[in-house]
Every structure is written in C-alpha cells, then in structure tokens.
Amino acid sequence: METREPACSDHARSRLLASSSVLAGALCLSVSAILVKLAGVDAATTAMLRCAIAVVVLVPLALGERARRGRLSWRGVGGAIAAGVALGVDYAAWTAAIYEVGAGISTVLINVQVIVLPLLALVVDRERVTVRFLWALPLMLLGISLVGGLWGTATPRGQAVTGTLLGLLAGLGYGIYLFLTRRATKREPGRMIQPLAWATASAAGTTMIIALVSGGLRLAGISARSWVLLVVLAVLGQVVAWLLIHHGSIRLEPVTTAALLLIQPVLALGLSAITLAEHPTPLQLLGAVIVVIAVALANGLLSRLRNVRDHGSRPTRPGGVSPGAEHTGASRRYPGGQDPADRRTCESPDPQRSGGV
C-alpha cells in the first residue's frame, strides 16, 4: 500500500497536467477564429499567411526532432503533403466562413469532420460504421440546418447559407486531413513535428493557389496591427495549439482527449460574443448545441467515459496520436481498451471512484 499511493499520486498529477495541456490547446484553437476576425484581412490572404508564418516557426523544431528521432520517410513526407492540401482547403473555406456566419458558428460547423472521418475509413479502409454514428448523423444534419438559417436567423439568408456551405467544406477538408494523418501516424509513431511542418508548408502552397484563383493575395494594405495579429494566429493556432494537444494526448485515453476538445466550439461561441459582439439567434445556438451533442454521440464519448469511470483509466503509451485521430490498438488487444497490467498499477479499492477525468 505504501508503494501504491505514491504511484497513484504521480499518475493523477500526470493526468491533470495532460488534461491542462489539451485544454490549453483547445483554447488556442478557439482564439484563432477571433484573431482572424480582428485582423480584418481577406480570407484567402489570411489562410496563406497563417500557414507561411507557421512554417518559419516549425522548420527549426522539425530539424530538432529529426536530429533526435531520425528523418521522416519519403512516404511519410508524401502523405503529409497530401494531407496539407486538404488542410489548405480547410483553412481557406473556414476563414471565409468566419466572415459570413461569425467566428463562433464557423468553429462549430467545422466539427462535421466527425462524419467525414468514419465515412472515409469505411470507403477506403473498409472499417465498419458504428450504430452510434448512424444515430448521430440525422442529429448533426438537424443542427447544421438550424445553424445555417434554414429555420430563421438574424443573418441574411443567403449569407447564412453561404457561410454554412463554406463551414461544411472546411469540415470536409479537415476530416480528410485527419484521415491521412491518422494513417501516417500508425506507420511512423513518435514523429509529430516533421509531418506537421510538411503539411503546413503544403497547406501554404494550396492556400496561395486558392488565393490567386479567387482574386489574388492582398499583402500591400495590411496594417502593422494586422501583421501582429496574423503572427499570433500562426503561432497560437498552428504551432502551439497542436503541440500542446499532442503533448497531452499521449498521456490520456483518446476518448478523454476528444471529450476535452469538445470545449473548443463552446469557447469559440463565448469568446466571439464577448470580444466581437456576435450574438447568434436562439435557433442558431440550439443548432450549435445539437452539433456538439452529435459529435459527442458519434465519438461514443458518453458511454466510453462511463466505462473509463467504472473500470479505471490507463494512460496512452508513448507515441501518441495525431490531432483528432483515435488510437485503437489498446481496445483491440484488451476488452475495454485497458491493459490488465496497467490496471494493477494504480487501482482504487472502490471501483466507482477509480478513473475519470
């Protein structure tokens, strides 16, 4: 008992720090939409500069990781570049959606990636679609219709529909990005910064092409204040956010990480109301809540969090997962997703009090 209590204390402290890291990353992502609106630069230019500035920060970090853990394979580089194309589409569409339906609503809409990811896994990898996903799908569509103004909104109808479509396109790009990075992470675990740097560079090139097609880059008229905000956006939203989330996710169960990240759209709605005076209609707020609930249901967060609480928790083994991707190896090896050896490490006498977030 004397040796078990310090182990339990260290485990609890590690989980607390990991949870705080993921929450801090979610806060950085929530602030990103606010920074886009405050910068006041056109959507295509903002998306390109966000990625280009982030590459400058990521390159020395990626070189350091390469020196410590070895070079990313050429196959990994190719996968990261392909994922970056989808990420570039995501950023361009999402930034445009912010100017159409607001920072808060656009951040909620991008969570439709929870539909895209399992559908891609079904079509490409022949992974089975869960029953909870089928239940969540109509709920998600209902929430999107409310957010998009099909049932009445203060935002002009055409603008609301355009913003909703852009948000859905961003969610599609985000889902493809997560799908590709999920597969890459399984092939080369332990390398996070190098794929992120390659993907961000690819996204910068993609957003530049989109900008040229949609009217060109507008760099000349950007004020000093806007440049500062764009630098903060790149560092917080593209570098710090994902590094914090990855640092925490390797020490938490994937379901816990996903649950913590659900705070992102909620924070975005609250921050946009405070800083930008964006006030969605009651129906839009209801739609946003329904979307968040559908995301939780599709991920099985409610039932799986109960399992974690009832049967104990185990930290994810080093190697981690890509942002937003599920690590399913443990659940395949052990019923309930827990190694019995880990369960003995720190076990409460009362099973109702063990585990939890």
Alpha-carbon distance of 193 to 198, in angstroms, equals 9
- Domain boundary assignment for the chain: 4-345
pLDDT in tens, 139-192: 877 877 776 655 655 555 667 788 888 988 998 998 888 788 777 766 777 788
- % residues pLDDT > 70 (the chain): 73
Query: Is residue 336 pLDDT above 50, yes or no?
Result: no
Torsion of CA 127, 129, 133, 138, to 10 degrees: 120
Model pLDDT, residue 353: 31
The whole-model pTM stands at 0.71
pLDDT score at 326? 39
The pLDDT confidence band at residue 82, using thresholds 50, 70 and 90, is very high
The first and second tokens of residue 186, run together, are 């399984």
- Positive or negative torsion for Cα 67, 68, 73, 76: negative
Length of the chain: 357
Return the closest-CA partner of residue 208 out of 357, 314, 50. Answer: 50
In this prediction, residue 8 carries a pLDDT of: 65
Residue 213 has pLDDT above 60, yes or no: yes
Helices then strands, each counted (H, E), the chain: 16, 0
Residue 165 burial (C-beta neighbours within 10 Å; 0-12, 13-18, 19+):
middle
Which has the higher per-residue pLDDT, 93 or 191? 93
Looking at residue 31, the DSSP 8-state letter turns out to be H
Work out the mean pLDDT of the chain and round it to a whole number: 76
Q: What percent of the chain has pLDDT over 90?
A: 24
DSSP strand E in the chain: where? none
The pair of three-digit structure tokens given for residue 180, joined into one six-digit string: 């590709």
| DSSP per-residue codes, 202-248 | HHHHHHHHHHHHTT----TT--HHHHHHHHHHHIIIIIIHHHHHHHH
Cα torsion at 102, 137, 169, 30 (round to 10°)? 40
User: Residue 88 CA to chain centroid, in angstroms?
Assistant: 15
CA atoms of 316 and 252, how far apart (whole Å): 5
pLDDT digits (tens, 9 = 90+) for 47-61: 999 999 999 999 999
Tokens 């104990």, residue located: 312
Greater pLDDT, 296 or 259:
296
Q: Kindly list the distances between the CA atom of residue 225 and the CA atoms of 124, 228, 268, 320, in Å, as whole numbers in the listed order.
A: 45, 5, 22, 37
> What is the SS3 assignment for 277-329?
CCCCCHHHHHHHHHHHHHHHHHCCHHHHHHHHHHHCCCCCCCCCCCCCCCCCH
Give the helix/strand (H/E) hosting 57: helix 43-69
d(CA 181, CA 117): 11
C-alpha 241/C-alpha 204 separation (Å) is 18
